[in-house]
A and B are shown apart, each in its own frame.
Chain A
Amino acid sequence: MPDDRTAIEARSLVKSFGDVRALDGFDIKVKSGQVHGLVGPNGAGKTTLLRILFSLVSPDSGSITLLGRDWNAAGSIRMHGMGGFVEDPRFYPYLTARRNLEFLADLDGVDRRLVDEVLDLVRLTDRADRKVGGFSSGMRQRLGLAASLLRSPRLLLLDEPTVGLDPSGAREVLALVRGLSAEGTTILISSHNMTEVDGVCDSVTVMREGRSAWHGSMERLRSEAPAPAHRMWTSDDVRAKDVALVEPGVSVVPDPEGWLTVSADREPLDAYVIALGRLGVAVRRLEMPMTALESMFLALTGAEIDRFATRDQPDEIGVTR
């Protein structure tokens, strides 16, 4: 039974589109007041889950409880207290940002005076009277956030909230998320950006092929994560892989971009790099290690991690975090 401390509970969700099973018995439970991350490779079912939670798509089977109330296909959003967006937020291009929000405020039954306030929160006040048709994707993203905040949600569902934003804009959005969380709002963030999820979430669900591959708190994840992984570029990847076979505690896997992913703790990694040098294999670049979440993601899904513009630049050779 869901209790007041559970904001989202979904059990055995199944959704198929033709022959494709987007969700295959998916389970999730998010406690109230938490920021929960939803990560997974493309096609894992993240967006389908959000669409179901927003009543945009009906599940084939399974049960959902949102804010203590049963989900219904006719419009769970009628349960006041939910907000957010799925994929990139879209608005009427022939209307100004303010007019768009006023219409949405009307549809939500909230006071239009809130429009100025939320525009201010997402720093769009100076562009409020411009038509949305001329907005960049980052500005639309901000406007989407403003539209979500109009409802003063207790549960906020955000799909890639920082996509399209410049680094400072992304930092502001994440700060806003933290602020909302501090005020008691439960937030579910679907993201490809592991650094972002790692930095802002209290708990996480890793999705794979429509199922929950891992679910738990970030503390637990850090303790269970496999050895940190590095990305390495050498003068001879074939020999580098061969060397890894004889070096204890080192695992090397080529990635689709032509790099080598090296999983090892610090000491075995040092020994491995020294061994490569002795054998005449130059290490031309060694990037920062993946976060615990990235390592876990890689281990659970085997998928390559998307790297975003907001991500820090790679460190120079030999400099690891």
Chain B
Amino acid sequence: MSIATTRAAPTGATRLRPTGIGTVYRVELAKIASQLLPRIAAAVCLVGPFAFTIFINTQTSVPADALFGRWVHSSGFAIPFVVLVFGGIVGFPLITAVVAGDLFASEDGYATWKTMLTRSCSRGDIFAGKCLAGVTFSAAMVALLVVSSTLAGVLVVGTQPLIGLSGQVLDPGRALVLILESFAVALAPALAFTCVGILFSVVSRNSMIGVLGPPVVGLLMLLVSLMGSGVVVRSMLLITPFDAWHGLLVAPAHITPLWVGALVCAAYAFLCLDAARRSFRRRDFTGDGRAAVSWSRFGRGVLVALGITGILALGAAFDRRWITSHRLERSVDTTFKNLLIAQQDLLGNQVKERSLLVFPLCKRDSVVRGPSSGAGDDWGCDVIVDGGGFRGLSVSYSITVRPNGCYTADGPPLVIGPLRIQKAGGGVAVNPLYAFDGCMIAP
């Protein structure tokens, strides 16, 4: 007997509950949790920092090219900051785009728009619910990273004090607070990149473009930032807010980059979501919903991206330079002074900050006349130290200044001592002055 001929319609109660954004949001979260790629991304965020920390702990060398990289053996609190540095330009955009870039395009890929859009939720509800789910996933991944990297650092390396970006010593409690604050600051550009991924997903209707688009945008912006050290163009780039947390790690703290970064992120998020919403609402869902990649359309997109990149790069080349010898000298002054005190403390010498006078004089080797400015690896600083037991000690550092204002200073071992020094209380410690990192904060 055929069931279909015995009953035609379901007999159960069919009273409809109101549906809306919240309904779509819950369904989308459940769908995300059921998919392989988001699960892999979550696993990477959870396990990655532990694997990285354990691996680094077995090595004698350290990732000194990254901020805080030289401290990964000295303090567990350095690990989350290194993760933050590595995650910034490509990592966060890629992890967030795993879901954001696929949210809308996967419906095209599976041809399920006609299934989803013929239910009781409006297009507006579906758009908002999906966006919220994407943003939630991104925030969860950032939260997962901060927890796992902090735990990895603390459990594998320990809770030793950390040296800040002005050479100041940060006790474990302060370091922990700064880790949380720094990841919270990085959350804003991560969410903005999520919105970029959503735009790619809606417009391209192709998951691969949706997922890879945001990291490519990040790399193009990095390219622009390398073209020049201008303050205006740099502040317009979405990768810049990823560096805003540097302002929290210098002494005194600079919070202006945080607000500027938040505004830039909000602007990108609004523009991307608005464009995506308009495209989604206007769209006719024809065929089976799937759109093969239109190479002419893709080519136009690439040309537009390259055009914008070129214009920004040109603008960056002629932009007002904010990395100046004066700013570098001020930063080196504070950082060197703090590190010298820390070094002397390790050696058992008490040096009071007030009694110590530091006179840095910085210039670029390539500049013969006029003031030095801009990023480059040809900076040099002659630091003269007076007071605190030093009399006219002169130290010359070779300095590499990166476009984001952070720099690495390498000193002469004959004057400042070897990489590892014998502590007065016994044991060996990394010599803080052997090489150090610092950051200038953009105005």
Task: Enumerate chain A interface residues (CB-CB to B < 8 A).
Answer: 17, 48, 51, 54-58, 74-75, 77-78, 80, 83-95, 99, 103-104, 106-111, 113-114, 117-118, 120-123, 147, 149-152, 171-173, 175-176, 178-180, 182-183, 185
> Quick check: B118 and A175 within 8 Å, CB to CB?
no
Q: Which of A74, A99, A107, A117 has the most chain B CB within a 10 Å cutoff?
A: A107
Contacts of B121 in A (CB 8 A): 75, 78, 107
| Interface pairs A-B: 3 shortest CB-CB | A179-B8, A109-B17, A107-B119
Closest to A93 in B: B110
Decide if A108 touches B115 in the complex (CB within 8 Å): no
Which residues 110-126 in B have Cβ within 8 Å of A in the complex? 110-124
Known: A87-B114, A114-B10, A176-B4. A103 touches B24 (CB 8 A): no
> Do the beta carbons of A107 and B19 come within 8 Å of each other?
yes
Show 8 A/B contacts (Cβ-Cβ < 8 Å), sorted by A: A55-B118, A78-B120, A78-B122, A90-B288, A113-B12, A147-B115, A172-B5, A183-B9
Q: Does B58 contact A (CB under 8 A)?
A: no
Return the contact of A92 from the options B9, B112, B124 (Cβ within 8 A): B112
Whether A107 touches B110, Cβ cut-off 8 Å, given contacts A77-B117, A147-B115, A176-B4, is no
A56 lies within 8 A of B285 (CB): yes
Contact B114 A54 (CB under 8 A): yes
B304 at the A interface (CB under 8 A): no
Contact of A85 among B10, B110, B115 (CB under 8 A): B115
Centre residue among A17, A58, A109 by max chain B CB count within 10 A: A109
* Set A54, A103, A113, A121: member contacting B3, Cβ < 8 A: A121
Contact A108 B9 (CB under 8 A): no
Query: A48's closest neighbor in chain B, by CB?
Result: B286
User: In residues 130-166 of chain B, which contact A (Cβ within 8 Å)?
Assistant: none
B123 & A75 in contact (Cβ 8 Å cutoff) = yes
Q: Decide if A117 touches B122 in the complex (CB within 8 Å).
A: no
Specify which chain B residues have a CB less than 8 angstroms from the CB of A83 in the assembled complex: 118
Instruction: Say whether B114 contacts A107, CB under 8 Å.
Output: no
B193-208, CB < 8 A from A: none
* Cα distance, A127 to B152, chains bound together (Å): 44
The CA of A108 and the CA of B118, in the complex, are separated in Å by 9
Contact of A120 among B3, B9, B23 (CB under 8 A): B3
User: Is B366 positioned at the interface, with any CB of A under 8 Å from its CB?
Assistant: no
Asked whether, in the complex, the Cβ of A92 is within 8 Å of the Cβ of B31, the reply is yes
Inter-subunit contact A175/B10 (CB<8 Å):
no
B42 CB to closest chain A CB (Å) equals 16
Q: B5–A175 contact, CB under 8 A? A: yes
Given known contacts A57-B286, A90-B288, A110-B16, A176 and B10 CB-to-CB distance under 8 angstroms: no
Q: Is B30 in contact with chain A by the CB < 8 A criterion?
A: yes
B interface SS class: loop
The answer to whether the Cβ of B355 comes within 8 Å of any Cβ in the partner chain is no
| CB <8 Å contact, B114 and A110 | no
Which positions in B face A, CB cutoff 8 Å?
2-5, 7-19, 23-24, 26-27, 30-31, 34-36, 110-124, 284-286, 288-289
A residues less than 8 Å from B15 (CB atoms): 110-111
Asked if residues A110 and B115 are in contact (CB atoms below 8 Å), the reply is no
Q: Which among A74, A117, A185 is the interface contact of B12 at CB below 8 angstroms?
A: A117
Docked complex Cα distance between A78 and B114 (Å): 14
Instruction: Indicate which residue in B10, B13, B122 contacts A149 across the interface (CB closer than 8 Å).
Output: B10
CB-nearest residue of chain B to A118: B10
Query: Do B112 and A91 touch across chains, with their CB atoms under 8 A apart?
Result: yes
Report whether B10 and A117 are in contact in the complex, using a CB–CB cutoff of 8 Å: yes
Given contacts A108-B120, A172-B4, contact A56 B10 (CB under 8 A): no
Partner of A121, one of B4, B116, B118, B286: B4
Cross-chain contact B284 with A58 (CB below 8 angstroms): yes
Q: List 19 additional A-B contacts (Cβ < 8 Å) besides A55-B118, A75-B122, A83-B118.
A: A17-B284, A48-B286, A54-B117, A75-B121, A78-B120, A90-B110, A90-B111, A93-B110, A107-B24, A107-B27, A107-B120, A110-B14, A117-B10, A120-B3, A123-B4, A152-B10, A172-B2, A172-B5, A178-B8
Give chain A residues whose Cβ lies under 8 Å from the Cβ of B24: 107
Could you say which residues of chain A place their CB within 8 Å of the CB of B113? 56
Quick one: which of B3, B4, B34, B116 contacts A107, CB cutoff 8 A?
B116
Choice from A17, A117, A182, A185 contacting B286 with Cβ under 8 Å: A17
- A191 CB, nearest partner CB in chain B, Å: 18
Q: Within 8 Å CB of B111, what residues of A?
A: 90
Name B19's contact: one of A109, A111, A113, A176 (CB within 8 Å).
A109
Which of A88, A94, A183 is close to B8, meaning CB atoms less than 8 Å apart? A183
B34 touches A110 (CB 8 A): no
Pairwise interchain contact B35-A90, C-beta atoms closer than 8 A: no
Expressed in whole angstroms, the minimum distance between the Cβ of B399 and any Cβ of chain A is 52
B3 CB to closest chain A CB, in angstroms? 6
